[in-house]
Structures are given as structure tokens and as C-alpha cells.
Amino acid sequence: MSEVVDRFLKYVKFDTKSDEDSESIPSTAKQLVLAKELVCDLKAIGLLDAEVDDKGYVMASLPSNMDKKVPEIGFIAHMDTSPEISGKDVKPQIVDNYDGKDIILNKDKNVILSPAEFPELLKYKGKTLITTDGTTLLGADDKAGVSEIISAVSYLTKHPEVKHGTVHVAVTPDEEIGRGADYFDVKKFGAEVAYTVDGGSIGELEYENFNAAGAKVFIEGRSVHPGDAKNKMINAVEIAGEFMGLLPKNEVPEHTEKYEGFYHACSVKGSIEEAEIQYIIRDFDKESFENRKKLIAAVGSFINKKYGMEIVKVEVKDQYYNMKEKIEPHKHVVDIAYKAMENASVTPVVSPIRGGTDGARLSYMGLPTPNMFTGGMNFHGKYECIPTFAMEKAVEVIVEIIKLYSAK
């Protein structure tokens, strides 16, 4: 196995699932276990200033080996995995020389990774894949990015003949719950520009992302014995269904693509007395984004007016914004990554992120930070997988980016 694959197989064994209901920083203490391991690994390859702070942010730097000043650049990934599915006891499976057929992830549970459902698998016939065992996620989002960054810097320490400026490395907690940049110290990090290594399939290069907000809908019902409920009971569960039905039915993730925005009901819970719906709201266009927030609030007002009392309360909170506005004045960061991919014989695929990364918020904090691929697919679920060659190419692209900045 290559260094980057070995690192990845090591890191996915750490359970780093974040928790959006936690108020601690980081949201789960187990993220700190991996953070401390990363500090040890960074020091082992020669980054002696590596450290993790009390909030779980890992930072380190590789000093320049040049006699002239060139831009200081950074690479960022996140250590946490999605709260949507377990990341405990991950048992990665190696599929050598993939034949293009169904992959049985878990025979007992009848979990099958099939090109009939995931046709992009066919692009990787003859390649080595790393998959789950069908019971957890894999963790390529974003332990692949962590592994690729550290492996790229390791390569530079082993090859001092490769000239480079100062390279900064950071690994953040809690990206999956939208808090990855909350306590990121841009000044301490020290980079002039940076790249998140947090994308999907090989070649992805992104500098546009959703504008994002979260919405919580609280519904207060009235419980009365069902035998005597006429004109008395207010069933909060039924009101929740009514609320959801008043939003555009086709403007949901499963019916949208490319630059189309959506409303996504992430969870619904409740009883007759009270119910709660959690939404995320996404749109690339700022005006459409603002209109979506207004509509979800208006639905609450409509229901309150219909029932003649305030039984619905809607809270909307912005999460991050489209980084395009902040990247375009520094478009060279995208152009250099594009050229680096070409140098590494990777075809660049410039596309919008139908999601977000730490880079979106960091760009608004004064650090222009586009996003590049890790090579993974089907994130946040038991069908997650990653081709090993794509991870190796990501390492090569990172090194090429560093070389291009050093030649400026």
C-alpha cells in the first residue's frame, strides 16, 4: 500500500462522529483523540510546531526551503464524520482490480454496492477500491483529505530537492455540523491563500457553494382524549405534515441538481402536544436564498393565521454563504489548482459544490479557500467508497500546487 492509503486505513479506525446537539467544543471529545494522533504524525514527519488547541484545531507548518519570498499557502481538511450514520468500528474492505460488477458489502445484511444504482463505479474498473463493510460510513469525508495533505507534506520532507515556500496545514473539528470555522484562527494559521481538500470524485475543483441556512419549526399542539377531541384537539404531528406540504414539493434534494436550490427536512419528531421539524435551506443565488427563508417563515405565519393562534414558531439561522464572491477577486488560486491537476494528468472538473466546506466561511474571513477533490464517492452512508489511485493523485496535485506557487 502507498503511504496515503496506509494513513487513511489508520485514521478511519478513529470514531470522530460530530454531534449537532452538543454544546461542547469540539462537539465530541473523541475528535480530540484523533487530533492528538495527527499532531504526533505531523511531528514525526518533521513539522515540529504541530499542535492541537483546546477546541480541537490542529495546525502545523513546513518552513520554506527557498532563498526568496513566495506566497505562503495552506491546506485544510476536517477530522469529524457525519452525524447521519455511525462512524464507530469502521472496517474498510479492499477490492482489488474491481471487475465492474456488484460488490457485496455485507452478505448477512444484504448490502450491495451496485453500478446499477451507482453507475460512476464503472469508471473505476481495474482499479483498487476501499469500501465499507455495509454497517458504517467509511470516513473518506474527510479523512481522505487529512491523509492526502499529510502525505503530500511528508513527500516534501523526504525530497528536499523540491523547492517550496512555507506550507501551512490545518485539520478542523465539527465541519459536518457547520462549525468547522467557528474558532479557526486565520492569523495564527498564517497562509495567504488556502485549499480545502474535501471534495468528491477525482478532478473536482470548486469555488462556488450554496448559501446555507438552518431552520427549526416548533409546533405546539393540544392533547385531548381522542373520544372527545372534536374542535378541541390540535395534533402537532398533523400540523407538522401540513407545514411540510405547504413547501414546494419538487424543491427538495431528491429532485434538484446543478444550480437548483432546495428545502430539506432533515428530521421530524413529535407527539400530539408538540412537534419539531429541522430543515436546511440551500441556494446558490443570494436573492433566491433570501426568498426561501422568507417563504418558510411565511408558511408558519399562514398556519398561525388559519388556526387563529400562535401554534407554530419558526427560527432561521444563516450558516454560510457562497464563496464565489470572495474567490473571484483572487481567481489565480483556482487557476493554479487547475494547472496543477493538468500537470498531474488529472482532468479538472470545475463545478459548484452542492454543499459547503470550511473554505466557504474562511473565504469570508479573509482567506480565499477553494475546494479540491479527495477522490471519494457516496459520502455520509454505508455505500461510501474511494479508489486508491484517486487518493494518490490528490497527493500529487497538492505537491504540484506547492511547486507552482514556489515558481511565482
Q: What is the pLDDT of residue 57?
A: 98
Q: What is the pLDDT of residue 289?
A: 98
Q: What is the pLDDT of residue 356?
A: 76
Mean pLDDT by 10 residues, the chain (408 residues): 96 97 96 98 97 98 96 98 95 97 96 96 97 97 98 97 97 94 97 96 96 96 92 94 97 95 96 97 96 98 96 95 94 97 98 86 96 96 97 98 92
Q: What is the pLDDT of residue 355?
A: 80
- For helices 332-343 and 388-406, what crossing angle results, to 10°? 120
- Residue 386: phi, psi to the nearest 5? -150, 135
**Which part of the chain has CATH 3.40.630.10?**
3-208+322-406
What is the CATH code for 3-208+322-406? 3.40.630.10
What is the CATH code for 211-320? 3.30.70.360
| Residues with catalytic function | 80, 175
**Which part of the chain has CATH 3.30.70.360?**
211-320
Q: What is the pLDDT of residue 178?
A: 85
- Residue 12: phi, psi to the nearest 5? -70, -15
